[in-house]
Amino acid sequence: MITEKTLFAQHVEKGLSAPSKFLSSMYFYDKKGEALFREIMNLEEYYLTNSEMEILMFQGHEIAQLLKDEEVEIIELGAGDGIKTKELLRHFDKKNTVYRPIDISEQAIIDISKKMSEWIPNLQVKGVCGDYFKMLDQLKSDAKKVILFLGSNLGNMSDDQAKGFIHQLNNVMQKGDQLMLGLDLIKSKDIVLPAYSDSKGITAEFNLNLLDRINKELGGNFDRTQFEHVATYSEHEGIAKSYIKSKVDQTVTIEENEKSYHFKKDELIHTEISRKYDLDIIRNIIEGTSLHLDYQFTDNKQYFTDLVLTKK
């Protein structure tokens, strides 16, 4: 059987042997990474959280009217801390609404289920742990389904990956089911860049934690002080990218891979993409599905959007 560790080691081998080095942001989220991401979400500079919170706090009632039905299952992919979601869920009728957070982490499901039940007593909370699509496929019921994918989580995929992901969602949805996507909008560099290179250095910690993770889990000997976090944003493309830059010429050994990897001075390891959107990009991503973009909500500053798509 292939273990998580083997998959991680194989990914690191592939990424650090490539001509342009890369590592996937998927591996940011160990316990420390999750805690750092929670800190990021509380930073003033990380405007995404507050912008989406504003939408759900002030327009949650209106959004809920569009999603409600006689019986509805609200399925949230990668639910996180649930603070924003509760602003939407509180407008639903508790008797005929089931909230199903899906996450790969069992602890995340336990935590969110407990919190949501405290915040909204009588809401039926039935968390599921596992792979999004496997779980979605198993959730066969007559109730209408509303899938929530908030926080611009889609933005950590390339447009091709996002297309594949949305097409897979489309395949498991029935006619009348809805998808609510929370997406960060394209805007100027002076707003986006500080969100990915904050003044307290939390995002840098978050990015460099990946090296600690390789050290801990795969027996690497990365010296963190010899690497630094770099964030870029292309306003024209609407894409923020994070990198880890080698400050010096150096070689790092990873025991699990029985191999050494060389880094030139200033060489970059690409670790994350954070895509920002406009409606043309979204239309391109949903093209070929039977999802119809029905409603768009934005915050006052027009930084962020929540879209409601319906399967026709």
Binding site for ligand AVI (CB under 6 A): 40, 48, 151-153, 155-156, 196, 203, 206, 272, 274
Chain centroid offset of residue 144 CA = 24
CB 53 within 8 A of CB 297: no
For residue 310, the minimal CB distance to ligand AVI (Å) is 24
Q: Shortest approach of ligand AVI to residue 232 CB, angstroms? A: 13
State the minimum distance, in angstroms, from the CB of residue 95 to ligand AVI.
Answer: 33
Residue 132 CB, shortest distance to ligand AVI, in Å, is 15
| Closest distance to ligand AVI from the beta carbon of 268 (Å) | 16
Considering beta carbons, is residue 276 or 311 the nearer one to ligand AVI?
A: 276
Residue closer to ligand AVI, measured from CB, 10 or 234: 234
Nearer Cβ to ligand AVI (100/241): 241
β-bridge partners, 269: 244
Inter-residue contact 158 to 273 (CB < 8 Å): yes
- The DSSP secondary structure of 148-217, one letter per residue, reads EE-TTGGGGS-HHHHHHHHHHHHHHPPTT-EEEEEEEBP--HHHHHHHHS-TT-HHHHHHHHHHHHHHHH
Q: Give the residue at shortest CB distance from ligand AVI.
A: 274
Nearer to ligand AVI, 78 or 219 (CB): 78
131, 132, 138, 139: CA torsion to nearest 10: 140
With both helix axes pointing from N to C terminus, report the angle between 202-218 and 4-17 in degrees, rounded to the nearest 10: 110
Residue (182 or 220) nearer to ligand AVI, CB: 182
